[in-house]
Each structure stands twice: as structure tokens, then as C-alpha cells.
Amino acid sequence: MKYILGIESTAHTFGLAVLDKKGKILSDVKDMYTTKSGGIIPMESARHHKKVSWKLYEKLIKDAGIDESEIQVIAFSNAPGLAPCLIEGMKFAKEISQRLRIPLVPVNHCIAHLEIGEITGAKDPVLLYASGANTQIIAYEAGKYRIFGETLDLGVGNFIDTFARLIGIGFPGGPKIQKLAEKGTNLIELPYSIKGMDVSFSGIQTKLKHMVESGKYKIEDLAFSLQETVFAMLVEAAERALAHTGKRELLLGGGVGCNSRLQEMAKIMCMERGCKFFCPDKSLLVDNAGMIGYLGLKMFKSGLGFKKKDFDKVDIAPRERTDEVEVSWK
């Protein structure tokens, strides 16, 4: 096997990557659907993916400096995510694999976030997966990736984005809220909602909405307090998972992991517990095709994947849960 193509399309990002047979990422390109105000509209995001796909593919092949015919496997994220976006990714994957007559490997996006941590040196970590749509504490145990804790309502990134929208900032709101938070000085008390290793954000959201509408608080202070409160919840949940599983490594994943305050808090917790902290590069924290190719390669090497005659068995699974996946490649 020479090269593998990875395809990511679960939500707002359409990404492509070429990896060599050792899992080294040779080229990784992406194009993200954004909005000036308001959240993601799934159909629009899917239209975006369709529109950018072939141009991006040309760029990828050129950047990687390979010939298309040298690609011998395709991995694409088939789960979980927004159905219209997943469908575009799958169509694109099937089209290329049919033309090149090469096998297809469907990959679970959440598990890809975890497995890519290997690149940073993590061996058996607890993953704090904090993205837009997902907030989960995941770790490997007895043949499966188990979810030890998760959000009971919305994902932490979506929660931050909703707050951003409320104060008139477009999508994605995370980086801008971080900037505002850096200027905040007053810690305002917000509901702190954690049960075991599960967290929830809707109570904080309602409270913040009232506070913004009252006009009595500085936006910078609200952004600061929001970050301090919800990141403390996430780090506490992660710490409990470390204690529960006896694992000694924490890995960050997901776009919210780009937040330097969250990184700092997680790092301090790890230091205090004598655990190692791993945080991939930003480009691998956010949705990317490199991680899809990376996990797809491992799965393919272990014998997983579909040949052309079985392509009708390849489908999307928008709601597949992390612990539904049989981990036979480890």
C-alpha cells in the first residue's frame, strides 16, 4: 500500500488528507463553512461541501506531490454528524473509490479524534473531547471506546457559539469569546452543573441570557466567567474519569480544545495528579481529514474495509455512538 486518502465532512468542515503507509500526513487541506450570524444550517453546509470538494481535491493531490493513481485506500467519516453533510462526504468517497477501484473504510469521527492523539505520544489516554456538537469523556476499556461522561444537553462548543450569537458574534464564536474573556476581570457566579462525569449547560445558558438582557454586566466579564465555569466542569469530569479508570494520560480533542485557558486548566489538573497531558496541534484538534485517514489506515491494516462489490453496504450513521463501534484494530 502506498497512500491513503482521508475525507472529513461530518459538520462544517470539508477536509481531505493524504497519508503514507506509516500514517504520516503528507498533505491536509480543508475548507470550512462559516456564517456571519446564526448557526449551521445542515443543508447549506452540505452544499458548501459539494461546491468545494473537487477544487480541494486537486489542491490536495498537488500539495502532496503524488499521482492520484497512487492512492490505494479511502477512509471517510461516516459517523456521527449531520446527515446531509455525511452524505456529501460519502458520495465523494464512493465516486473516487469506484473510479480508482480501491477499497473504502468508514470511520467514526469521535474515535478518530482519540486515535490521532498517538501522534502526540499518548498511549492509553482519557480523551476530553470538547467540540461544537460533542462533549464527551472517552477512554478505551475491554474492547471498546467507552463514554464515561458526556453533556446531557448541548455540546460545549455549541453552547459557546450560542452565547456568541446572543451578543451578536457570528460562527464560530469560540475564538472571539476567548479574546473577550482575556479582558474580563470579575468572576460572576454561574450555575455549576456536573453530576458524576456528566455535565450540562442549559441552566448556565438561560442564566447568561438573562444577564445579557439585563444590560448590567460587562460582556468581557460574562465571557470570562463562562469560560472559568464550564472549563472547570470539564476538567473536573476528566479528573474523575482519570481516577475511575486509573489511566495516567489526558488527551484533548475537538475545537474547544484550542482554547488556551482550557488547556492551561487541564494541564494544571494533570500536574497535580501526576498525569501526563497531551494536546495535539490546533489543526488536528479541530475537524480534519488527517485523523480520519490515520484511523482508517489502522482499520484497513487490520482487515477492515469494503471492496467495490460491497459498496451498497457502506452507509452513513449520523447517530452512531462511540461505544457502538467494535474496536478490532487495536
- Beta carbon of residue 11, minimum distance to Fe ion (angstroms, whole number): 7
- Beta carbon of residue 175, minimum distance to ligand ATP (angstroms, whole number): 4
- Our CB check for Fe ion shows the closer of 131 and 205 to be 131
Spatial neighbors of 113 by CB under 8 A, at least 6 apart, are 127, 129, 131, 253, 254, 291
- Beta carbon of residue 39, minimum distance to ligand ATP (angstroms, whole number): 9
| Binding window for Fe ion (CB under 5 A); candidates: 71-79, 90-98, 117-125, 130-138 | 130-138
Site for Fe ion in 283-302 (CB under 5 A): 287
Of these partners, Fe ion, ligand ATP, none, which one is at the site of residue 23 (CB under 5 to 8 Å by kind)? none
- Beta carbon of residue 286, minimum distance to Fe ion (angstroms, whole number): 7
* Dihedral class, residue 101 (left if φ above 0, else alpha if ψ from -120 to 50, else beta): left
- Our CB check for Fe ion shows the closer of 131 and 178 to be 131
Locate 61 and state its grid cell: 493531490
- Residues near ligand ATP (CB under 6 A) are 10-12, 81, 109, 131-134, 155, 157-158, 160-161, 172-175, 178, 254-256, 258-259, 286-287
| Of 45, 77, 78, 131, the one binding Fe ion by CB under 5 A | 131
- Our CB check for Fe ion shows the closer of 11 and 211 to be 11
Where do we find the cell 468581557?
220
Cβ atoms of residues 45 and 11 within 8 Å: yes
- Our CB check for ligand ATP shows the closer of 3 and 224 to be 224
Q: For residues 240 and 245, give the distance between their C-alpha atoms in angstroms, rounded to a whole number.
A: 9
- Beta carbon of residue 318, minimum distance to ligand ATP (angstroms, whole number): 11
- Beta carbon of residue 98, minimum distance to ligand ATP (angstroms, whole number): 27
- Beta carbon of residue 103, minimum distance to ligand ATP (angstroms, whole number): 25
Of these partners, Fe ion, ligand ATP, none, which one is at the site of residue 161 (CB under 5 to 8 Å by kind)? ligand ATP
- Our CB check for ligand ATP shows the closer of 58 and 264 to be 264
For 261, other C-beta atoms within 10 Å of its C-beta total: 14
Cβ atoms of residues 239 and 139 within 8 Å: no
| Binding window for Fe ion (CB under 5 A); candidates: 61-69, 78-86, 123-131, 265-273 | 123-131
Sign of the alpha-carbon dihedral angle for 40, 44, 46, 51: negative
Site for Fe ion in 259-278 (CB under 5 A): none
Nearest to 186 by CA among 234, 223, 132, 156: 223
**3 state SS for 283-317:** HHHCCCHHHHHHHHHHHHHCCCCECHHHHHHCCCC
Q: Could you tell me how many residues of this chain bind Fe ion (CB under 5 A)? A: 2
Cβ atoms of residues 323 and 108 within 8 Å: no
Q: For residues 313 and 308, give the distance between their C-alpha atoms in angstroms, rounded to a whole number.
A: 10
Q: Tell me which residues touch Fe ion (CB under 5 A).
A: 131, 287
